[in-house]
Structure 1
Amino acid sequence: MTSKKSAKLAVLIDADNAQSSIARQLLAEVGKYGEAHVKRAYGDWTNPQLKGWSDVLPRNSIEPIQQFAYTHGKNATDSAMIIDAMDLLSSDRFNGFCLVSSDSDFTPLVTRIRDSGLKVYGFGEHKTPKAFVSACDEFIFTEHLNHRSERKINPNEVAMSESHDPAHNASDSLLQNSTETTLHRDEWTRLSDVCEHLTTRHPDFSLSTRGYAKLSDLISDSPQFDIEERPSQRDKSPELFVRHRRTLAGTMKI
Structure 2
Amino acid sequence: MAGDGVRLAVLIDADNTSPKFAEALLAEIAKYGTAHARRAYGDWTGNQLNGWKEQLLKQSIQPIQQFAYTVGKNATDSAMVIDAMDLLYSDRFDGFCIVSSDSDFTRLAARIRESGLIVYGFGARKTPEPFVAACDKFIYIENLAYEDPDVPAKPGAAPRARRTAAQLKGDTRLVNLLRTAVEAASDDDGWAALGGVGSIMTKQRPDFDSRTYGFAKLSDLFEATTLFEVRRRKNSDGQQAGVFVKDRRTPEPNS
Fold conserved (TM > 0.5)? yes
Asked whether 1:204 is paired with 2:203, we answer no
Q: 204, 224, 227: which one pairs with 2:227?
A: 224
| 1:123 aligned residue | 122
Q: Measure the CA separation in 1 of the matches of 2:53 and 2:186.
A: 54
Q: 1:243 maps to what in 2? A: 246
Residue 57 of structure 2 corresponds to which residue in structure 1?
Answer: 58
| Distance (whole Å) between structure 2 residues aligned to residue 70 and residue 165 of structure 1 | 49
Q: CA RMSD in A?
A: 3.3
Match of 2:238 in 1: none
Secondary structure at the aligned position of 1:97 is classed as strand
* Contact 2:182–2:245 (Cα < 8 Å) also in 1: no
The aligned residue for residue 81 of structure 1 is: 80
Q: 1:217 offset after TM fit, Å?
A: 5.6
Please state whether the residue corresponding to 1:54 is helix, strand or coil: helix
Q: Name the CA distance, whole Å, in 2 between partners of 1:121 and 1:174.
A: 24
CA distance in 2, matches of 1:84, 1:6: 22
Contact 2:177 2:201 in 1 (8 A): yes
- Does the C-alpha gap of structure 1 residues 243 and 158 become closer, same or farther in structure 2, counting only changes over 3 Å? farther
For 1:89-238, list aligned pairs within 5 A: 89-148=88-147, 153-154=149-150, 160-163=161-164, 172-173=174-175, 175-179=177-181, 182=184, 188=190, 190-191=192-193, 194-207=197-210, 210-212=214-216, 215-216=218-219, 218-220=221-223, 222-228=225-231
Q: Using a 3 Å threshold, how does the CA distance of structure 1 residues 246 and 216 change in structure 2: closer, same or farther?
A: same
Provide the rounded CA distance (Å) in 2 between the counterparts of 1:85 and 1:185. Answer: 41
CA contact (8 A) 2:149 2:160 kept: no
- Partners of 1:41 and 1:63 within 8 A in 2: yes
Q: CA deviation at 1:135?
A: 1.1
Return the offset for 1:49.
1.5
Alpha carbons of 1:83 and 1:196: their partners in 2 closer, same or farther (altered >3 Å)?
same
Unaligned runs of at least 5 residues, structure 1: 231-237, 249-254
1:22 and 1:146 in contact (8 A); partners too = yes
Partner of 1:47: 46
Q: Contact 2:185/2:196 (CA < 8 Å) preserved in 1?
A: no
In structure 1, how many angstroms separate the alpha carbons of the residues matched to 2:228 and 2:99? 34
Q: How far apart are residue 199 of structure 1 and its match?
A: 2.0
How far residue 242 of structure 1 moved from its aligned partner, in angstroms, is: 3.3
Q: State the number of aligned residues.
A: 234
Shift of 1:110: 0.5
In percent, how many aligned pairs have the same letter?
49
TM-score scaled by length of structure 1: 0.78
Q: Aligned AA for 1:57? A: L
- Whichever residue aligns with residue 94 of structure 2, its letter is N
Gaps of 5+ in 2: 152-157, 234-240
Counterpart AA for 1:223: T
CA 1:183/1:100 → structure 2, altered by over 3 Å: closer, same or farther? Answer: closer
